[in-house]
Amino acid sequence: MNNEIWKAYSHGMAAALQEGGVHVSAMLLRTYRQLDLSDTEAMLLLQIMVYMEADLNDFPTLEELAERMGLSVREVGQLLGRLMKDEFLTIDEYIDSSTGMQSERYNWSGWLFKAAQLTSELKRETKKAERQPAKPLSASSADLFSVFEQEFGRLLSPMECETITGWLDQDRYTDEIIRFALKEAVFAGKLSLRYIDRILIEWSRNRVTNADEARAHSQKFRGGRG
């Protein structure tokens, strides 16, 4: 590395250190998709952290967040509304010690709690799966695994395989209805087994037993929501 490149590197490192940083738990990054957070929602939460910890701004405006995210103010408002509705984010009121005035600040402890809770559940399920003897795969299970792996774009974990097998063997969901629930998750852009499980539970409550009934139920739901 020549002197000029070394100087540039040194200046860059010095500038980065002066800007400060934000510690982000690996737990948050590992679990956010399984918590049904989109990449944009997770990045918005991280930007709020940066404002609070690096910029010392506890309550950035919608305009500030929109500029940093490259989104419109309306889009940021909708994202914040969803995050607060699902209790990933709250707004706390407090008395500013320096001014004596009531102020507001964002609080993302809900995200931390959800991530910690999910991580604990995943660890328990993994240990449980390790203790249980492996069951021979049925042809239906093996084929379903392949379909899920194709949509997920990766191999399934042992715990995910156990969840899908449980849908077939314990919950008695049909192969057809599980495949259609996967299609619904793909359509919604929420590829997680937790989201698919919620779909299956909702259909079960409404006595949906095949793809045609599921399609009608989903269309009715979307129509009512619109």
**Alpha-carbon gap, residue 28 to 103, rounded angstroms:** 27
Q: Pick the residue with more confidence: 92 or 129? A: 92
CATH homologous superfamily of 133-225 = DnaD domain-like (1.10.10.630)
Kindly list the domain boundaries of the chain, sorted by start residue. 3-113, 133-225
Which CATH class for the 3-113 domain? mainly alpha
Instruction: For residues 200-223, give the mean pLDDT.
Output: 84
| Both structure tokens of 224 | 């009512």
Instruction: For residues 117-125, give the mean pLDDT.
Output: 83
**Alpha-carbon gap, residue 70 to 44, rounded angstroms:** 11
Q: Pick the residue with more confidence: 182 or 138? A: 182
pLDDT at 80 over 90: yes
Most confident of 22-36, 57-71, 153-167, 187-201: 57-71
Mean pLDDT of the chain: 84
CB-based contact 20:53 (threshold 8 Å): yes
The 3 state secondary structure assigned to the chain is: CCHHHHHHHHHHHHHHHHHCCCCCCHHHHHHCCCCCCCHHHHHHHHHHHHHHHCCCCCCCCHHHHHHHHCCCHHHHHHHHHHHHHCCCCEEEEEECCCCCCEEEEEECHHHHHHHHHHHHHHHHHHHHHHHCCCCCCCHHHHHHHHHHHHHHCCCCCHHHHHHHHHHHHCCCCCHHHHHHHHHHHHHHCCCCHHHHHHHHHHHHHCCCCCHHHHHHHHHHHHHHHC
pLDDT at 86 over 70: yes
pLDDT at 226 over 70: no
Instruction: For residues 39-59, give the mean pLDDT.
Output: 94
**pLDDT recorded at residue 120:** 85
pLDDT at 69 over 70: yes
